[in-house]
Amino acid sequence: MSDNKTTPSNFIRQIVKDDLASGKHSRIQTRFPPEPNGYLHLGHAKSIVLNFGLAQEFDGRCNLRFDDTNPGKEDVEFVESIQNDVKWLGYHWDQLFFASDYFEQLYGYAEELIGKGLAYVCELNAEQTREYRGTLTEPGKPSPYRDRSVDENLDLFRRMRAGEFPDGSKVLRAKIDMASPNLNMRDPVLYRIRHGVVHHQTGAEWCLYPMYDYTHPISDALEGITHSLCTLEFEDHRPLYDWVLDNITIPCHPRQIEFLRLNIEYTVLSKRKLTQLVDEGHVSGWDDPRMPTIAGMRRRGYSPAAMRDFCTRVGITKSDSVVEMSLLESVVREDLDATAPRRMAVLNPLKVVIENYPEGHIETLQGPNHPKHDDMGSRPLKLTREIFIDRDDFRLEANKKYKRLVLGGEVRLRNAYVIRADEVVRDDSGEIVELRCSYDPDTLGVNPEGRKVRGVIHWVSASEGIAAEVRLYDRLFTDAAPDGHKGEDFLSYLNPESLVALPHAVVEPALADAVAGERFQFEREGYFTLDVTAGSADKPVFNRVVTLRDSWSKSA
């Protein structure tokens, strides 16, 4: 990968550079720590590009670690999809871990904290615990169980592990400071009891599960992480991260550094909300091409290079910002403009009969694969007497600005001859169902002398073309911040026109060889990819990756 050339500097990169220069670290070690409770989205991609990208750039290492301390919501389906997505983005982890690999060690450290008088078993219920915690303006009250003896705490904690107590009856809490201005430091819960759940990695071995804030620093330290990068919501948790590591016997103390979460207009980046879209059937699945998931964007036709590029360009700042959808699209478009072979596809076909063209004749013409890259070669095009053009490319009459076909006017068929529209055929309802044209055989590659040709339109042979379905995607929501309205359900902003299926499209014969995931420019229409799941060899489905020009910033 050569993305590094364009990596803009950011404060985290600077910290890493300084730490290497000062000799604080001789090699950096990062990690990407997803919880396997959903598919990865574009926000995760930003974290992946940051963590793996830094390791790559500075010759360090990056682990993939599943933060799997919430059995019940987690699943191996997600464990697998996450690995898939990270690989697809072009990264290789140094080592693969599960936080559950550390359950025994985490338990041991909890006993150490208890032994030092720094953790206790508390029997307040959830509501009482909240009440005792106090508020931002009022200090908390100490739990009546706070001063239990070390022996009693150890005994109770061991019996919690042994399964003697029901869910919710007891928790293990750190003994820190009930008056701390930081609510996270008011004796946070370290362990809770969960019976009857089968953990996807540890099965029924445990009924005692560590909390995220306790698990995370220790997992990082056990892996020798040098820079533990997380999103800004965890800034207030950093004192707890440090407290845990300062109070147990562990040789490593990673530095937690926070960066801004990625937010994008017209979509939601939250696994909970994405899960709701899937579960309630608002989309066809996690890989629906409208989803901001990596799986959805892959199916939509975004390339890994474009996604990495986008994640690098959005930068790693601390200041609040919402990234415009048009930035993502322009990165994708730039990538495709340079690399996608050109093809012709007629999305809303209108039949054209070229009356002076010999019946039954098939003429093979050549169409360059790319206007700027001769090295990409050309593909054969089949011209026949009956062809399709797009309904939008014909009008009975129009002013000069209309650079397409009008009755009596001339237009060039892309990579072929100039045709003239002579007559329309209508059905009983008056709709135009066919166009009778004539062609000028002397116009292959040369313009007719003394006659005005309005423009160039695309076409596909009626007998040689392939029937296809084309799917056009628009933003999934009609509001730039669908989840940003208090008291309003984000689902009420779903865009009913986010998917428009055109089931009667016709594409040129060369597209018979397209393989799933291959990307093309359908000339004058946009960039498209062959869908990996829908469609068949007889009737392929093409997804629109992105339009040819930016249609977002203006229409927004």
As annotated, the active-site residues are 35, 261, 271
Per-residue burial over 393-414, b if 16 or more Cβ lie within 10 Å, else e, is bbbeeeeeeeebbbeebbbbbb
Give the range of 34-42, 77-85, 253-261, 283-291 binding Mg ion by CB under 5 A. Answer: 34-42
Measured from each CB, the residue nearest to Mg ion is 35
Which one of Mg ion, ligand ATP, none interacts with residue 128, CB within 5 to 8 A by kind? none
CB of 38: closest distance to ligand ATP in angstroms?
6
270 binds, among ligand ATP, Mg ion, none (CB under 5 to 8 A by kind): ligand ATP
Q: How many residues bind ligand ATP (CB under 6 A)?
A: 15
Instruction: Give me the least distance between CB of 310 and ligand ATP, in Å please.
Output: 12
**What is the Cα–Cα distance from 156 to 145, expressed in whole angstroms?**
12
- Nearer of residues 314 and 345 to ligand ATP, judged by Cβ: 314
261 binds, among Mg ion, ligand ATP, none (CB under 5 to 8 A by kind): ligand ATP
Note the maximum CA span of the chain. Answer: 103
- Annotate each residue in 24-43 with x if it binds ligand ATP (CB under 6 A) or - if it does not, as one string: ---------xxx-------x
**69/384 with CB nearer ligand ATP:** 69
Please state the closest distance from residue 488 (CB atom) to ligand ATP, in A.
19
Tally of CB atoms within 10 A around 170: 22
Q: Which of 35, 75, 112, 242 binds Mg ion (CB under 5 A)?
A: 35
Rg (CA), the chain: 31
CB 295 → ligand ATP: shortest distance, Å? 14
Nearer to Mg ion, 240 or 416 (CB): 240
Name the minimum Å distance from CB 166 to ligand ATP. Answer: 28
Minimum distance from residue 287 beta carbon to ligand ATP (Å): 17
Measure the CA–CA gap between 479 and 483, rounded to whole angstroms: 9
Q: CA-CA distance, 328 to 307, in Å (whole number)? A: 8
* Token code pair at residue 398: 């129009």
Residues 440/512, Cβ–Cβ less than 8 Å = no
Q: E strands along 410-451, which residues?
A: 410-413, 418-426, 432-440
Q: Which stretch binds Mg ion (CB under 5 A): 31-39, 411-419, 450-458, 478-486?
A: 31-39
State which residue, 41 or 308, has the beta carbon closest to Mg ion: 41
Strands 394-395 and 405-406, sheet pairing = parallel
Q: Which is nearer to Mg ion, 29 or 215 (CB)?
A: 215
Candidate list 46, 61, 173, 519; residue touching ligand ATP; CB under 6 A: 46
Nearest to 528 by CA among 260, 262, 388, 332: 332
47 binds ligand ATP (CB under 6 A): yes
As a whole number of angstroms, the distance between CA 110 and CA 108 comes to 5
DSSP label of 28: -
Which of 233, 427 has the CB closer to Mg ion? 233
215 binds, among ligand ATP, Mg ion, none (CB under 5 to 8 A by kind): none
Is 83 a binder of ligand ATP (CB under 6 A)?
no
Contact (Cβ atoms closer than 8 angstroms) between residue 454 and residue 410: yes
231 binding partner (options Mg ion, ligand ATP, none; Cβ < 5 to 8 Å by kind)? ligand ATP
Shortest CA distance to 109 belongs to which of 236, 240, 245?
245
Among candidate residues 521, 496, 493, 497, the one with its CA nearest the CA of residue 508: 521
Which C-beta is closer to Mg ion: that of 73 or that of 382? Answer: 73
* Residues 432, 378: Cα–Cα separation, whole Å: 34
Residues 464-493: x/- map of binding to ligand ATP (CB under 6 A)? ------------------------------
Contact letters (x/-) for ligand ATP, 263-282, by CB under 6 A?
A: ------xxx-----------
Among 13, 73, 253, 261, contact with ligand ATP (rule: CB under 6 A):
261
Read off the DSSP letter of residue 97: E
φ, ψ dihedrals at 330, nearest 5°: -70, -30
User: Is 326 one of the binding residues for ligand ATP (CB under 6 A)?
Assistant: no
Which residue bears the tokens 């682990």?
A: 63
454 contact, one of Mg ion, ligand ATP, none, CB 5-8 Å limit per kind: none
Integer Cα distance of 184 and 64 in angstroms: 27
Residues 6+ apart with CB under 8 A from 138: none
468 has which bridge partners? 505
Residue 261 makes contact with Mg ion by CB under 5 A:
no
Dist CA 350 CA 436 (whole Å):
11
340: left (phi over 0), alpha (psi -120 to 50) or beta: beta
Q: Which stretch binds ligand ATP (CB under 6 A): 142-150, 262-270, 401-409, 440-448?
A: 262-270
CB of 483 to ligand ATP, least distance (A): 11
The CA angle 485-490-494, to the nearest 5 degrees, is 125
Report the interface residues with ligand ATP, using CB under 6 A: 33-35, 43-44, 46-47, 67, 230-231, 261-262, 269-271
